[in-house]
Amino acid sequence: MDLTELKTLSFDNKSRHPWERARMRIIVRMLRSILKNERKTKPIIFDVGCGDVFLSNYIAASFPGCEIHAVDSAFTGERTQEIKELTGSNSISLYTTIENITLLPERKTDIVLLLDVIEHIEKDTDFLSSLAKNKHISKDTIFIITAPAYQCLFSSHDLFLKHYRRYSRKNLTEVINKSNLKALKSGYFFFVLLFPRFIQLLFERTHLIKPTIKGIGQWNQGVLFSWIFTTALIFDYFVCSILSAVEIIIPGLSVYTICKPAR
């Protein structure tokens, strides 16, 4: 979760928004596939822009033996201590900047996660180019990047979250190509969320409703509804993935790319 949206720090699945829970499982599924193909059993993972470390904690539990370096500029001394006490995990290290990460010279990171991060960065291409040249990144390092989709859906919620932009699949690929990276795979997920977001945006722009800004940290819709919502979003991803495998791209509220340094 973005620390902007954080209400109470908790790793209880039941208190999490279905969007966050579904995305968490989607990312873990992507990681399983990548690590299986790369034959990595104890990967080094950089979670850049990690927020409250909820996802990092889930990944650590899903991949015993992995080493996670979680980075977020919003970490404070008090917040960092609180997260350390909550995770109780020796496999997660916390940093405020990428430059603070320390690895032995011969060790390189296997995976870099940039999950709903680059939309917060004014000069996204410069940021990605610099990251691709980081001393801990090798030609075999794999990046998983997600972002909110479609600039036409930019709303007051994006302003609340301090987003500079949203991305189409084509636009995200162009940014990747300009950043010393090469895309291996890309697509969308959360198709079912497009229509509600479009209606919300339509009402907002026609002033039929007054914008109400609520982060996902304020979710409180009950266990059953949360489970149904989460399951629907995960099923949505599977359908989009199956169609993508036969080159049928279904739009969605989130766009992703899997890429490597272009070296």
10 Å Cβ neighbour count for 180? 17
Residue 3 domain-assigned? Answer: no
Element (H, E) at 254: strand 254-261
Pairing of strands 254-261, 142-148: antiparallel
DSSP per-residue letters across 46-92: EEET-TTSHHHHHHHHHSTT-EEEEE-TT--HHHHHHHHHHH--TTE
In a domain, residue 8? The reply is no
Q: Is the pLDDT of residue 100 over 80?
A: yes
- Confidence category of residue 165, pLDDT binned at 50, 70, 90: very high
pLDDT at 35 over 60: yes
Q: What percent of the chain has pLDDT over 90?
A: 53
Q: pLDDT higher for 68 or 9?
A: 68
Q: How many CB atoms lie within 10 A of CB 6?
A: 18
Lowest model confidence (mean pLDDT) among 200-204, 210-214, 222-226: 210-214
157/200 Cα distance (integer angstroms): 11
Indicate the average pLDDT of the chain.
87
Q: Global pTM?
A: 0.89
Q: Is residue 7 part of a domain?
A: no
Number of domains in the chain: 1
Q: What range defines the domain where residue 116 resides? A: 13-261
Q: What region does 190 belong to: left with phi over 0, alpha with psi -120 to 50, or beta?
A: left
Residue 1 inside a domain? The answer is no
Looking at the domain assignment, is residue 175 inside a domain?
yes
Give the three-state DSSP class for 261.
strand
Sign, CA torsion 46/121/200/195: negative
Q: Does residue 99 lie in a domain region?
A: yes
Say if 206 falls within a structural domain.
Answer: yes
Mind listing the pLDDT tens digit for each residue in 43-94?
A: 999 999 988 888 998 999 999 989 999 999 888 777 777 777 776 666 788 8
CATH of the domain at 197: 3.40.50.150
What tens digit of pLDDT does each residue of 41-52 get? Answer: 899 999 999 888
Please check whether residue 167 lies inside any domain of the structure: yes
Region 170-196 average pLDDT: 93
